[in-house]
Amino acid sequence: MKGTGAGRVGAAGGTEGAGEAGRARVTRAGAGRRTGVVRARIALAAVLTAALASACSGPSSSDADGAAAKRPAEPAHGKQAHGKPAPANAAPGKPAQGQPKAAGARAGEKGTAGALAAYVERVRKSQAARVAAAKKWGLAKTPLPAPPPPTVKPKINTRKGFETDGEGLPPVFTTVPTKEKIVFLTIDDGAEKDPELLRMMSDLQIPYSAFLSDYLVKEDYGYFKKMQDSGVSLHNHTLNHRYMPGLSYAQQKHEICDQQANLEKRYGKRPPLFRPPYGNYNEDTLRAAQSCGVKAVPLWAAEAFPDRMEWREWDRDLHPGDIVLTHFRGKEDWKGTMPDMIRRVMKTITDKGYAVAKLEDYV
């Protein structure tokens, strides 16, 4: 059996266990540069900022009337602005200097502006609904909206200190490379099946990902189907939540790949992501996972409980792209319920100026 190495020990504290290396400061993965940013996105960001600042109030009719009154009239066909005739030698299809744009160009601009305005209005209404939901569910603050996902997903590399001797294996990481103030919420195992969690997360529009172990999920497959139908991605956390480095390659493959097949059968999709129980793995774990379609192995940078947060990093803080772990638990295991945990973790995330984004948009 191949050694696990210090970097392959689980996150600090909590039900997943803690490792010495989990407390060490590790050089973080370099932030990938965003590519293909266009001018329209810059304009969109500016408009979105203005729109979200007044999420619950739209422009008044008097504002709209005033804007219309100040708008200059369209020049007559064949005329330049200020009533001057167009030069006779103007090139066909190309307006002379000062001449109004062709009808097709104006229509294109209006179409783009209209689509942008419609998108901003959807965001405004969504944020207004989130404000109401935050009050309904007792959140201290309204969760911040996540920015649009990147047009190209960042390249994910294995975190330094978390490597195995194998090459070309799925990357193991605790943070997604990004400069955005976003984090990712993930929930493990499937022990607690609280219907209030489904309603709460749907109302609040908070994205999250579930990593499921079959020995717990099989008690109520339907609960997680409802979760999937609400937009949650379901991923692999093995059949029986066993300590992977203590198993042979064949045993690990059974735990991982049989759960891949089971999730595909139950939910119609073979998961691309896998999280080993307790965050522990070795090279055989990654080779077995890769053999049945796993593309990446996200661990975590922080763990949430109803009464506290626990941290992997020495500075005990959030960072752009951090993955936050929690569990399907209730009062039998915790000092609170799953909604209590969500209230706690969202207060921490929002107070620090972060939004929750969808992990699958980046990985």
Residue 355's pLDDT is: 98
The DSSP bridge partners found for residue 172 are: 297
Residue 119's pLDDT is: 82
Residue 136's pLDDT is: 97
Shared domain check, 185 and 307: yes
The pTM for the full model equals 0.72
Is residue 93 in a domain?
no
Residue 107's pLDDT is: 66
Shared domain check, 244 and 348: yes
Chunked mean pLDDT (size 10), the chain, 363 residues: 41 40 38 44 50 44 39 40 43 50 65 83 85 96 96 97 95 98 98 98 97 98 98 98 98 98 97 98 98 98 97 97 97 95 98 98 98
Shared domain check, 224 and 133: no
Shared domain check, 175 and 54: no
Q: Are 301 and 313 in contact (CB under 8 A)?
A: yes
Is residue 75 in a domain?
no
Is residue 87 in a domain?
no
Is residue 65 in a domain?
no
Residue 37's pLDDT is: 42
| Separation between Cα atoms, residue 303 and residue 322, nearest integer Å | 11
Residue 266's nearest CA partner among 232, 228, 230 is: 228
**Chain CA centroid to CA 294, Å:** 19
Shared domain check, 262 and 115: no
Longest dimension (CA), the chain: 86
Shared domain check, 163 and 137: no
Shared domain check, 271 and 173: yes
Shared domain check, 313 and 255: yes
Residue 143's nearest CA partner among 331, 323, 342, 287 is: 342
CATH number reported for the structural domain that contains residue 339 in this entry:
3.20.20.370
Spatial CB neighbours of 111, under 8 Å, sequence gap ≥ 6: none
| Separation between Cα atoms, residue 260 and residue 235, nearest integer Å | 8
Domain span at 132: 35-58+104-149
| Separation between Cα atoms, residue 69 and residue 234, nearest integer Å | 53
Is residue 73 in a domain?
no
Shared domain check, 22 and 48: no
DSSP code of 59?
A: -
Number of domains in the chain: 2
Measured between alpha carbons, how far is residue 80 from residues 96, 99, 138, 213 in Å? 9, 5, 59, 70
Angle between helices 195-204 and 221-229 in degrees, nearest 10: 10
Q: DSSP secondary structure string, 281-347?
A: --HHHHHHHHHTT--BEE--SEEE-SS-EEESSTT----TTBEEEEES--TTTSSS-HHHHHHHHHH
Shared domain check, 26 and 41: no
Is residue 83 in a domain?
no
- Tokens 């922080």 belong to 302
Judging by DSSP bridges, how do beta strands 302-304 and 309-311 pair with one another? Answer: antiparallel
Shared domain check, 164 and 296: yes
Q: Are 211 and 275 in contact (CB under 8 A)?
A: yes
- The last residue of one of the domains, among 89, 114, 149, is 149
- The last residue of one of the domains, among 149, 180, 213, is 149
Shared domain check, 110 and 183: no
